[in-house]
Amino acid sequence: MEDEQRKTEETRSFLFLTVVMAPMLAVLFVAGYGFIVWFYQLLAGPPTG
């Protein structure tokens, strides 16, 4: 592979992972955790939150 292209791909990959994917996954995990706690509260009794 040409060096210029490889460099471009590495830059784009790094930006994608740090700016888009990791933040999105983090938000999804936190939101998912919140929903799990909520649904647990629905099953286990009145939402105490």
Partner 1 sequence: MHSLIDLLKRYWRTIRRPSAYYSLGFLTVGGFIAGIIFWGGFNTILEATNTEVFCTSCHEMYDNVYQDLRQTIHFNNRSGVRAKCPDCHVPHNWTFKIARKMQASKEVWGKIFGSISTREKFLAKRKELATRELARLRANDSRECRNCHDFGYMDFTRQSKRAVNAHSTSLERGEKTCVDCHMGIAHRLPDLTPEGQPAGG
- Among 2, 12, 28, 43, which residue interacts with partner 1 (rule: CB under 8 A)? 12
**With binding defined as CB under 8 A, does residue 38 bind partner 1?**
yes
Largest CA distance in the chain: 61
Question: At its nearest, how many Å lie between partner 1 and the CB of residue 9?
Answer: 4
* Residue pair 32/24 in contact by the 8 Å Cβ criterion: no
Q: Per 3-state DSSP, what percentage of the chain is helix, strand, and coil (rounded to 5)?
A: 85, 0, 15
Residues that bind partner 1 (CB under 8 A): 3, 6-7, 9-14, 17-19, 22-23, 26-27, 30-31, 33-35, 37-38, 41, 45-49
